[in-house]
Amino acid sequence: MQTYQDILVDQPQEGILLITLNRPDARNALRNNSLREIADALRAADDDSEVRAVVITGGEKYFAAGADIKEMAQLGPIEALTDVRPQYWKTIAAFSKPLIAAVNGYALGAGCELAMHVDIVIAGAGAKFGQPEINLGTIPGAGGTQRLVKTVGKPLAMKMVLSGEMIDAPTALASGLVAEVTEDDKTLTRALALAAVIASKSPLATRVAKEAVLRSFELGLEAGLNLERKSFSLLAASEDRREGIAAFLEKRPAKFTGR
């Protein structure tokens, strides 16, 4: 397996890849290289049929404290306009397999935006989410003014973006930013267990389901329902659907192959 500088990548269970942000001295601040490595690892995971789901975590203390402020300080308008980061974010957003975040501690700025790029966030009870860019005289740059509104709604998004104030895990749960809150020392275990459940499903169906759900952010209801119908019809031709239905009728676990 490839080695990286800012992340650790391993395969703790069959079918599951674990990415751990690993810049503890900078509170896992996401410098360009960190984002590049995350994007590279996800691209490789997309190409690897053995990988069925990915979990990303920052470890037990902090998820990520945002973009690297020291690196950001070097950005003038031209550098910001031609910045490489949007390409890395696009790769992360385009990852086609289920992506789960296990978040403990701070998920701030780009860290909160990374949490919003994943499909399911499991947060520890002590997790804190925020978009503190306003404290630096700037604004979020990777969806904090867009995905956040669509996720938690305008009132809370405005409060977070304009004040820089953080929200705690219960508020993140109530507002839909996270799917589940666990005890702090159970976050990764729970995320891996959920990844294992998802990894046992048909990889074709999870891929198509993820795409359909994500497209709902952009499509109107009629177009979204149309996409859903077409995707459903497409899956009707798959061996996995035949296997899933046969397994149900024969009262045995399904064995999905992704065909």
Q: What is the DSSP letter of 179?
A: S
Q: How many chain residues bind ligand DAK (CB under 6 A)? A: 24
* Shortest reach from residue 230's CB to ligand DAK, in Å: 35
Q: Which of 210, 183, 67, 198 is nearest to 122 (CA)?
A: 183
**What is the H or E stretch that residue 122 is in?**
strand 120-124
Burial of 30 (0-12, 13-18, 19+ CB in 10 A): buried
Q: What CA dihedral angle connects 92, 212, 204 and 235, to 10 degrees?
A: -160
Under a CB-based contact definition with an 8 Å cutoff, are residues 2 and 45 in contact?
A: no
Q: Which of 157, 91, 167 is nearest to 123 (CA)?
A: 167
* Shortest reach from residue 140's CB to ligand DAK, in Å: 6
Categorise residue 69: left if φ over 0, alpha if ψ from -120 to 50, beta otherwise. alpha
Under a CB-based contact definition with an 8 Å cutoff, are residues 64 and 114 in contact?
A: yes
Q: Quick one: which segment of 79-87, 150-158, 215-223, 230-238 binds ligand DAK (CB under 6 A)?
A: 79-87
Residue 190 to residue 187: CA distance in whole angstroms: 5
Q: Quick one: which segment of 128-136, 197-205, 216-224, 246-254 binds ligand DAK (CB under 6 A)?
A: 128-136
The one among 42, 72, 121, 172 contacting ligand DAK by CB under 6 A: 72
The reply to whether 68 sits near ligand DAK by the rule CB under 6 A is yes
The reply to whether 58 sits near ligand DAK by the rule CB under 6 A is no
Q: Mask 12-51, x = binds ligand DAK (CB under 6 A)? A: --------------xx-x----------------------
The nearer residue to ligand DAK, 45 or 64, going by C-beta atoms, is 64
Q: Mask 135-174, x = binds ligand DAK (CB under 6 A)? A: xx-x-xx---------------------------------
The nearer residue to ligand DAK, 83 or 168, going by C-beta atoms, is 83
The reply to whether 66 sits near ligand DAK by the rule CB under 6 A is yes
Residue type at 152 in one-letter notation: V
The one among 45, 53, 65, 120 contacting ligand DAK by CB under 6 A: 65
Token digits for 242?
């035949």
- Which parts of this chain interact with ligand DAK (CB under 6 A)? 26-27, 29, 65-70, 72, 80, 83, 85, 106, 108-110, 132-133, 135-136, 138, 140-141
